[in-house]
Amino acid sequence: MNEYDSQRISSLAKKVGYNKTDNIKNIDCYVLNTCHIREKATEKVYHDIGRLKKNYRNKKKPIVLVTGCVAQAENNEMLKREPFIDAVVGPQSYHNVPKILLKLDKRKEKLNFTDFEVVEKFDELNKIKNLNSKVSSYITIQEGCDKFCNFCVVPYTRGPEYSRSPEEIIKEAKDLILNGTKELTLLGQNVNAYSYNEKEKTFKFSNLIMSLEKLKRLKRIRYTTSHPIDMTNDLIDCYKNVKKLMPFLHLPVQSGSNKILKSMNRKHSREEYLSIIHNLKRVRPNIKFSSDFIVGYPGETEKDFYDTILLVKEVNFINSFSFIYNPRPGTPASNLEEVNRETQMKRLTELQNLLAGIQIESNKNEIGKLTEVLIENKMKNQTKYFGRNENLTPVVINNASEKDVGKIISVRIKDCNRNTLFGVKENMEREAAA
């Protein structure tokens, strides 16, 4: 989502005369878009700003904006601590970027835009065409979170759940498709919580997916990040009925222990999670999964951790993210007694080794097989081409060509590593119509 937000911020800045550049040593404005999910996110901001200050020690400083979740969480404290920062802009206020830049152009003053203005934000952003010309593109359809997991800051930095109108989303999708997009990934903090009410009718996430399927030149639909309690039966049925919906799902579970899930306030059990997995496999046998795991959560015993190991073995996630627990200030879990760091690291290593082994084995099983790959681009400084198969696995193709970009081609897998498949385009490939 940060990539999508950054693109929109860039478009907004362009409206008042600022063009994107990679030359950090000669800029008029510096925007640092942040995420507060990971450890030490705040300190990384100050580190990046410190590096910027060194470049402008002897020349006029640029306008400096810190946007995103860290800006929301720290707001005035950040302005006090680092005078080099001119404005903090929360994730629901970045539509104000043109106004902020114009103010700062006229006079230097510290500005704080961290109110929750999600309706106003989307009203403004709907006026901007998403002119991304990538084969695979993103659309934010939902923001915020009402789940209040005890370890998470998102409800406090992104606000309550809010869904855009289906008309706005479909219009943006059509604009992207006209510019060459073949694959859309729908974004949201809890994307499958999407629900839009109008005239006493509810337009659900499954309805949105089915509407997007009707866009003829769109070839693939994906979404992230989802929550287990919003994996409703009508959404599961989409995997049976909507062929453009790819057989891959990132479904965070965080722990395999019911005790820890309850302590996290996840609102689902281990059994409920596995039931979702089994139901999805029933309607779409080739579906693959990835997940998120927090290791060493307060109160986690060896048995709790072993429950996570058993769940991983049962599901066989092909790609996952795992982290040791780090308390986030202001969250309920931050008041709990932590598992010692040595134990956390030991468990994380064991889990990551298991996940890596499953991922490698999954990729090895693809060797010799045909896979359908959407070619996204030619690789930088190489003659090879890059794409992803239906399960989102990266694929490098030796013998593709420029005319294949934006097409789905059949690729025979010859080799792999942990993260990537390597293959060749079949001579008698099946190409999807552009």
Q: Quick one: 361 and 380 in the same domain?
A: no
Question: pLDDT 10s digit of each residue in the chain, 434 long?
Answer: 677 788 878 888 888 889 988 888 889 999 999 876 665 777 888 889 998 998 898 888 999 999 888 888 788 888 888 989 999 988 778 888 888 898 888 766 788 876 656 656 666 666 666 667 799 999 999 988 999 999 998 888 888 899 999 999 999 999 999 999 999 999 999 999 999 998 888 999 999 999 999 999 999 999 999 999 999 999 999 999 999 999 999 999 999 999 999 999 999 999 999 999 999 999 999 999 999 999 999 999 999 999 999 999 999 999 999 999 999 888 999 999 999 999 999 999 999 999 999 999 999 999 999 999 999 999 988 899 999 999 999 999 999 999 999 999 999 999 999 999 999 998 644 444 44
Is 136 within a domain?
yes
CA angle 432/173/411 to nearest 5° reads 25
Round to whole Å and give the CA distance between 129 and 150.
37
Q: Quick one: 133 and 241 in the same domain?
A: yes
Q: How far is CA 166 from CA 120, 171, 176, 198, in A?
A: 17, 8, 15, 10
Round to whole Å and give the CA distance between 31 and 333.
32
Q: Quick one: 32 and 140 in the same domain?
A: no
Domain boundary among 117, 152, 181: 117
CATH number of the domain that 303 lies in? 3.30.750.200
Is 301 within a domain?
yes
C-alpha radius of gyration, the chain, whole number: 23
Q: Bridge partners of 64? A: 30
Eight-state DSSP code of residue 299: T
- 252, 242, 237, 189: which is closest to 212 by C-alpha? 242
Round to whole Å and give the CA distance between 78 and 76.
5
CATH number of the domain that 394 lies in? 2.40.50.140
CA angle 396/397/400 to nearest 5° reads 145
Q: What is the pLDDT of residue 432?
A: 44
Eight-state DSSP code of residue 28: S
Is 12 within a domain?
yes
Domain boundary among 71, 89, 117: 117
CA angle 205/72/30 to nearest 5° reads 105
Domain boundary among 87, 117, 147: 117
Three-class SS state of 367: coil
Q: What is the pLDDT of residue 136?
A: 95
- 164, 168, 172, 180: which is closest to 218 by C-alpha? 180
Three-class SS state of 151: coil
Q: Quick one: 237 and 153 in the same domain?
A: yes
Q: Quick one: 236 and 144 in the same domain?
A: yes
- Residue 50: CB atoms within 10 A of its CB come to 11
Q: Quick one: 377 and 335 in the same domain?
A: no
Q: Quick one: 83 and 134 in the same domain?
A: no
Eight-state DSSP code of residue 265: T
Is 305 within a domain?
yes
Round to whole Å and give the CA distance between 158 and 138.
19
Q: Print the domain residue range for 229.
A: 129-246
Is 431 within a domain?
no
Is 254 within a domain?
no
Q: What is the pLDDT of residue 122?
A: 67
Round to whole Å and give the CA distance between 8 and 96.
11
CB–CB of 425/410 below 8 Å? yes
Q: How many domains does the chain have?
A: 4
Is 270 within a domain?
no
